[in-house]
Structure 1
Amino acid sequence: GIDMIAGPSEILVYAEGQNNAEWLAMDLLSQAEHDTVAQAIFITPDEQLLNAVEQAIEMHLATLPKAEIARTSIANRGALVLVKDRQEASDLINQVAPEHLMLCLDDAEAMSDSIRHAGAIFMGRYTPEAIGDYCAGPNHVLPTSGTARFSSPLGVYDFQKRSSLIMCSQEGVKTLAKTADILAQQENLDAHAQSARYRYQS
């Protein structure tokens, strides 16, 4: 909601297949340049790509205006992770529950089915996180610090108030009231139990 934990910035990039290591490195740095406690994680089953991304990060840091901030962020909170397969990657992603998740592969939609916890998911190689920051459309106030496990991006529902509506028919209440009666007795809440009992004994 509007009072969610916001920050530090996070990005997790998963890549497999044909990818440009320089693009991926810059995607990671796009969050690392925010501040020294931002988090940038790269996951891949391709060791050659992982090494190429590591080299590209160093190359970009040589010219990036906020290189000092980004370098500290990468050193303190960054990670390059080699996984055995996509399933292991999905498990790790769901554990991290990143603010921003980039899925850089041919069938990003298929992989997204296994992702349960992420603030925003950027699908495919041509969808950088920066698009979400500035012009993609969906609200970009996102859960951070692992709160994507139980929280969602800010949306219209956060500005609306709702009520639960419950209505039982004379016949329908008899089943539910018996259940409520039993549970209330277990909690030693006699008035609760009797209130329910009146309905199914009438």
Structure 2
Amino acid sequence: MGSMTVFTAPLSHHADAAAHLSHDPTMREVIARNGDLPVLTPTSDPFGTLIRSVGGQQLSVKAAASIHARLLERLGPLTPGTLLRTPGEDLRAVGLSWAKVRTVQAIAEAAQDGTVDFAHLAALPDEAVVDELLPLPGIGRWTAEMFLMFALARPDVFSSGDLALRQGLARLYPGVPAPDVTARWAPYRTLAARYLWADNHRVRAGGAPLTG
């Protein structure tokens, strides 16, 4: 078997990313106010990571973690086989909605029959990964972009459909078109997005808002 090309930045690029973003004076202040963020690394279980992401859609972090814990307690390791062998009523009982039950079952079927080769997603470019995931029911572009960011640790993803990111941009860069702002952050837009989320959280927690 030939070697795969993995489309993710080396860990040393985390420092390079922060240095690049700091050329933007506003982002430099955001970074200073929020401190260092953890380095993202690719998951060893992309299938299980996507299942967990679906389970946590539109839920608080605490609620999502609780459902995931109950899912693991009921099924053990999350594999296509364990999910497909589990009755939908049992999946619903751990806290998944019926819509999410259908989604995780569809993901499991796609993994089992090879429609989506999760083991080789890391070898694909960003848009090719999105194209693989979007046909799955219940998987929209936002979920695919979160998968790129947090499962595959791709360095240059910015989810323009994310409400919190749009709010952060509007607060920090009033009157500036979002594409004009985010273009200056390439090729490290993932870290920029994470800093916007962190700054939103800091402001909600009572920190002084930064404004552009």
With the length of structure 2 as denominator, give the TM-score of the two structures: 0.27
* Structure (1 or 2) with the greater strand fraction: 1
With the length of structure 1 as denominator, give the TM-score of the two structures: 0.28
State the structure with bigger RCO (CA 8 A, min sep 6), 1 or 2.
2
